[in-house]
Amino acid sequence: MNALLMVSRAIDALNERIGRIVLWLILFMVLVSAGNAVFRYAFNISSNAWLELQWYMFATVFLLCAGYTLRHDEHIRIDVISSHLSRRTQIWIDIFGTAFFLLPLSLTILVLSWPVFMNAWQSGEISSNAGGLIRWPARLLVPLGFLLLSVQGFSELIKRVAFLMGLIPDPGEKHKDPALEMAQADGEEAK
């Protein structure tokens, strides 16, 4: 189990690093969107490439940060019933959901999306819009994003089994960011 926990830590580190890098694309999306609007309305200059670039960056953030979001347990949950259950029962529900829903679905999408990417790559597919971009980078994001989600799902499965075995503390326990704690403390002092 120690070897699996080392693998889990490596997966966590990978998704953490990718997530923190990719999150910067949100700033670039805003800048591209604002620049596109300014040029369109102020100078009557427009290009579909800028609009498609925004879509590509949004897809990059959404797909490549799915594993990061799972790592931080920030996906949407409906806890109406499970919040009233014991923590061990909640962990068992997580294990079941990961093993029978998350992993099979994400691996299926990964496998099915790979040929779509390969076709776009080999054919040199480009957007049908005038001035549009090449499509293979966007097509690659789907299998890559679901690969990162799948390996993070595997990592979460390892951590939950290790918790049930008493080897690690609760993996679902929220660990606060020191910067967030300081900001919250400053906000409370201001009141």
Q: Are 22 and 65 in contact (CB under 8 A)?
A: yes
pLDDT confidence of residue 191: 57
CA dist 57 and 61 (Å) reads 6
Residue type, 84: H
The span from the CA of 157 to the CA of 165, in Å, is 12
Gap between the Cα atoms of 147 and 135, Å rounded: 19
Cα angle at 114 between 129 and 134, to 5 degrees? 25
Tokens of 8: 């889990």
Write down the pLDDT at residue 51. Answer: 84
Q: What's the rounded Cα separation, in Å, for the pair 165 and 1?
A: 10
pLDDT in tens, 27-81: 999 999 898 889 888 988 878 888 888 889 999 999 999 999 999 988 877 777 8
Q: pLDDT tens for residues 5-31?
A: 999 999 999 999 999 999 999 999 999
- The model carries a pTM of 0.83
Helices and strands (DSSP H and E) totals, the chain: 8, 0
* Coil vs helix vs strand at 134: strand
Q: What residues have CB less than 8 Å from 173, skipping those under 6 apart? A: none
Label residue 150 by pLDDT band (50, 70, 90).
very high
pLDDT in tens, 82-105: 788 888 999 999 999 999 999 999
Q: Mean pLDDT, the chain, as a whole number? A: 88
Rounded to an integer, what distance in angstroms lies between the CA atom of residue 147 and that of residue 64?
9
